[in-house]
């Protein structure tokens, strides 16, 4: 089925062939924008399309990379980075805000603190909607960016051993990534303290997809030695009900050059960012630390997705 005219609310809505199609188109976009060599960039033709970016929650990478992606495609961007500057502050509903944005644009990107909000937006929109993170639920374009980075670095997506470390309870990026890696036959190791383990919903989904339940361990030092991918995450302070609960776990994992010595040479370290203290800056110089390159990959990936949903890109999901 073509991606043209569809919304992206959850990765479960996409077949594996469609995901690979997005990654293939993203590889082409990466060449066009000089992702590996800025000297090879080819300027875009002007594009008569408008993207509306509705950000009800803070963002650096997702918002800026979506805006950059649309500008690199030759299109234009409208929207808000803070709902206090919109009529949401006067009490306008999400449904009405989305209806208005759909009247002013060709595609909508939405980030919102409530799980399920992107689905509501897609239901009320007459143009495609892309979920840019809905509370603790999902962050599908982050996962597409993660897959793009993993495939380019490891040369494949199949059969990797992937460690997910940190706040697996509230971290929506891992809720999207874990089932996706299960689709590609990954051996998944969840590295988290008891109170921040991956919710049963996602553990069960991984098991249903691959037949294997992810392992659950507490020690990063022990788990790191066999990994192809170490995916670090931030402890999500803003999603804790009680500050004392956050204080108890905020320093539970801190990746240092000492711990990196235990990791394989071919391992890569990813992080959706922003980081707080879970990766010390001294790790940044390690060639296995790919998190900034990973974030930069958000531009070609989002260019590919916008193009496909707007029916502008070539490519097949066969």
User: Which chain residues interact with ligand CP by CB under 6 A?
Assistant: 59-62, 133, 139, 142, 272-274
Any bridge partners for residue 279, and if so which?
255
Matching residue, tokens 């962050």? 139
Task: Let me know: does 21 contact 316? Beta carbons within 8 Å.
Answer: yes
Tokens representing residue 132 in the block: 């840019």
Name which of 117 and 210 has its Cβ closer to ligand CP.
117
Residue 163: in which H helix or E strand, if any?
strand 161-165
- Closest CA relative to residue 118, chosen from 21, 13, 199: 13
Q: Report, in Å, the least distance between residue 77 CB and ligand CP.
A: 15
Any bridge partners for residue 289, and if so which?
269
Q: Report, in Å, the least distance between residue 61 CB and ligand CP.
A: 4
Name which of 59 and 105 has its Cβ closer to ligand CP.
59
Name which of 60 and 225 has its Cβ closer to ligand CP.
60
Phi/psi class of residue 116: alpha, beta or left (left: φ > 0; alpha: ψ in -120 to 50)? left
Q: Report, in Å, the least distance between residue 157 CB and ligand CP.
A: 20
Strand 268-270, strand 50-55: pairing: unpaired
Q: Report, in Å, the least distance between residue 273 CB and ligand CP.
A: 5
- Closest CA relative to residue 102, chosen from 77, 84, 128: 128
Name which of 138 and 228 has its Cβ closer to ligand CP.
138
Pairwise CA distance, residues 289 & 298, whole Å: 17
Q: Report, in Å, the least distance between residue 55 CB and ligand CP.
A: 9
Name which of 152 and 275 has its Cβ closer to ligand CP.
275
Q: Report, in Å, the least distance between residue 184 CB and ligand CP.
A: 21
Indicate the burial class of 138 (C-beta count within 10 angstroms; 0-12, 13-18, 19 or more): buried
Q: Report, in Å, the least distance between residue 66 CB and ligand CP.
A: 9
Rg (CA), the chain: 19
Name which of 161 and 275 has its Cβ closer to ligand CP.
275
Dihedral sign (CA 260, 230, 111, 2): positive
Name which of 142 and 307 has its Cβ closer to ligand CP.
142
């Amino acid at each position: 089925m073509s991606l043209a005219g569809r919304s992206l609310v959850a990765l479960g809505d996409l077949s594996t062939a469609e995901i690979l199609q997005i990654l293939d188109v993203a590889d082409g976009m990466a060449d066009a924008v000089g992702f590996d060599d800025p000297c090879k960039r080819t300027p875009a033709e002007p594009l008569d399309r408008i993207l509306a970016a509705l950000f009800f929650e803070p963002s650096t990478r997702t918002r800026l990379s979506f805006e950059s992606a649309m500008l690199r495609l030759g299109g234009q961007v409208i929207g808000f980075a803070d709902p206090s500057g919109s009529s949401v502050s006067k009490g306008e509903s999400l449904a009405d805000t989305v209806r208005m944005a759909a009247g002013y644009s060709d595609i909508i990107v939405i980030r919102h603190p409530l799980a399920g909000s992107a689905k509501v937006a897609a239901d009320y929109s007459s143009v495609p909607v892309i979920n840019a993170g809905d509370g603790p639920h999902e962050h599908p374009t982050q996962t597409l960016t993660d897959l793009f980075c993993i495939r380019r670095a490891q040369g494949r997506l199949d059969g990797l051993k992937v460690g997910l470390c940190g706040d697996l309870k509230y971290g929506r990026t891992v809720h999207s990534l874990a089932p996706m890696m299960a689709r590609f036959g990954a051996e998944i190791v969840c590295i988290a303290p008891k109170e921040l383990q991956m919710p049963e919903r996602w553990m069960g989904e991984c098991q249903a997809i691959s037949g294997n339940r992810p392992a659950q361990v507490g020690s990063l030092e022990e788990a790191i030695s066999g990994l192809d991918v170490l995916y670090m995450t931030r402890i999500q302070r803003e999603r804790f009900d009680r500050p004392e609960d956050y204080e108890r776990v905020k320093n539970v994992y801190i990746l240092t050059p000492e711990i990196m010595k235990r990791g394989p040479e071919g391992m890569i370290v990813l992080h959706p960012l922003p980081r707080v203290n879970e990766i010390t800056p001294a790790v940044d110089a390690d060639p296995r630390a790919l998190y900034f390159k990973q974030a930069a990959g958000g531009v070609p990936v989002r260019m590919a997705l916008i193009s496909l949903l707007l029916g502008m890109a070539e490519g097949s999901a066969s």
